[in-house]
Structure 1
């Protein structure tokens, strides 16, 4: 059974001018997402700038989201690491903080052999009772979870799904043939949600949902209910905005978009920084065209 069906938002992490986490804005942003009808919140993923958070901040962000959500929807903590021992530590702490599940990216930079990759996930999963969603994004990590590897990893008892962000539809279809209803397939690419749903996917772990939580959730549920034309209309209408938020490395443009909505400050931690002027101008245009911003902004 899927941890959630629909749209889970990979939430941005609001920050103050000095780079510290703005927990007040995080609470407000979390509440807005819940009120808008998002189906799950993923805290401390790529979009949440987890790679530059200190461990105590990382866990406090998850804990803050958990407390604000108060059981209304699942909260999934991003706890992946290229150091297995560190990944175990984050998994344990996220479970203590009240997360409902974990998103565990493949080891980055040092990568892993096939056998050591299995050992990595087995070690982490043995130290938590929470469901684990694999996260495959070779463009970030240099390590692709092939269908063969997914077939091996899904045998670990608490591995219950995958966020598939390879962008390779053929690979996604191959993975879909190897899994059953006990393993959830989530799109990691906002422009490929419907193709993934068409082969049995459960939803999306979404970046665009930071700006369009209600629309993205409705799109997935429309498709799952058989209202395919409405879902297709939404998917295609979102494309210019999706292109705008991925014009630079994620989460730079999307966090700018959340800032333009007035829901967080446009602050980042180096090596990330504000988007280029042209990127910001294109983002504003895409948001205006979608109706998210007034023309005078």
Structure 2
């Protein structure tokens, strides 16, 4: 598994009546692939996994794997409250042809360090799929510490970390402790260029759903050492990237997809589409960004 590159955490597309809109979903996937992304992540926060049925998740995974047809890896996110459910999805991902897994610590129950490590090990030992641990204590209230990663190091298929602690120096701490044992990917859009400069090899991105070309260009420029060129695009991008660090990131990013012509703003309850002053404010950020899009 090559974890280097831009991995969109794609949104799930719905019709107005709430049913899956696979045609629009694949329109967006086409645009991602044409823009040069390096993988696709299904079932994350942006994918509204918590409001999808088991059957819908299976459909989404199978059809995406078939549609992408090996052009890039397809990664399934696992965010479950029960270890047995996580094990089910690890096995199902393998069965459906997914290339790897992204895994959050146990949901809802606030597990301690011993329990979190046991949870990750149980999943890792049940499959040969490569795994990326999603470390996001800000939103999900569980910090996977460096000492916990030391305990997980003997699970060879735990290969990567989606670094979302919002502490840039954590990239350096991890590299100092483990060298290249774990591949570090930035999971916070507003810190992406900074973490890439500090040694992250990838970017699990949100606004890429609406602006894939710009996201991939920044990544490529940083890797080519063209820092000034990357910085110019990143400064333009930052007001849009800040939409990724809000509790309504799903609504905000889906509205951006809609204005870019590669998505719709339909979400599933309890989320609701934006109205009033909030909608006007977010639309202004999106429209200003589109109007000032850099010439790539």
Question: Which structure 1 residue ranges, 4+ long, deviate > 6 Å from structure 2?
Answer: none
Rounded Cα–Cα distance in structure 2 between residues aligned with 1:289 and 1:46:
26
Give SS of 2:177's match.
coil
TM-score, length-scaled by structure 2: 0.93
Give SS of 2:20's match.
coil
Rounded Cα–Cα distance in structure 1 between residues aligned with 2:244 and 2:280:
11
Deviates more, 1:69-78 or 1:277-286: 277-286
Describe how 1:121-136 pairs up with structure 2 within 5 A.
121-136=120-135
**Aligned equivalent of 1:279:** 278
The answer on whether the counterparts of 2:135 and 2:161 sit within 8 Å (CA) in structure 1 is yes
TM-fit CA distance, 1:25: 1.6
**Aligned equivalent of 1:222:** 221
Rounded Cα–Cα distance in structure 1 between residues aligned with 2:275 and 2:151:
42
Give SS of 1:236's match.
helix
Give SS of 1:78's match.
strand
Q: Gapped runs of 5+ residues in structure 1? A: none
Rounded Cα–Cα distance in structure 1 between residues aligned with 2:186 and 2:150:
17
Q: Write out per-residue CA displacement over residues 170-199 of structure 1, whole angstroms, 9 at most, x where no aligned residue.
A: 333322322333421011101111221122
The answer on whether the counterparts of 2:164 and 2:187 sit within 8 Å (CA) in structure 1 is yes
**Aligned equivalent of 2:53:** 54
Q: Gapped runs of 5+ residues in structure 2? A: none
Q: Write out per-residue CA displacement over residues 17-76 of structure 1, whole angstroms, 9 at most, x where no aligned residue.
A: 222221222222211211121121111111100111111211211222211211111111
Rounded Cα–Cα distance in structure 1 between residues aligned with 2:57 and 2:82:
16
Describe how 1:13-52 pairs up with structure 2 within 5 A.
13-52=12-51
TM-fit CA distance, 1:208: 0.9
Rounded Cα–Cα distance in structure 1 between residues aligned with 2:204 and 2:243:
18
TM-fit CA distance, 1:238: 0.8
Rounded Cα–Cα distance in structure 2 between residues aligned with 1:194 and 1:107:
29
Rounded Cα–Cα distance in structure 1 between residues aligned with 2:148 and 2:202:
21
How many residue pairs match? The answer is 293
Rounded Cα–Cα distance in structure 1 between residues aligned with 2:50 and 2:174:
28
Q: Write out per-residue CA displacement over residues 128-162 of structure 1, whole angstroms, 9 at most, x where no aligned residue.
A: 11100000112222101122222222331110001
Describe how 1:132-143 pairs up with structure 2 within 5 A.
132-143=131-142
**Aligned equivalent of 1:80:** 79
Query: Is 2:193 the partner of 1:194?
Result: yes
Give SS of 1:151's match.
helix
Describe how 1:171-190 pairs up with structure 2 within 5 A.
171-190=170-189
**Aligned equivalent of 1:7:** 6
Give SS of 1:11's match.
coil
Q: Write out per-residue CA displacement over residues 68-93 of structure 1, whole angstroms, 9 at most, x where no aligned residue.
A: 21111111111231211101111111
TM-fit CA distance, 1:247: 4.6
Give SS of 2:127's match.
coil
Rounded Cα–Cα distance in structure 2 between residues aligned with 1:281 and 1:155:
50
Rounded Cα–Cα distance in structure 2 between residues aligned with 1:159 and 1:94:
16
Rounded Cα–Cα distance in structure 1 between residues aligned with 2:116 and 2:243:
34
Q: Taking structure 1 as reference, are residues 52 and 293 closer, same or farther at Cα in structure 2, changes over 3 Å only?
A: farther
The answer on whether the counterparts of 1:176 and 1:199 sit within 8 Å (CA) in structure 2 is no
TM-score, length-scaled by structure 1: 0.92
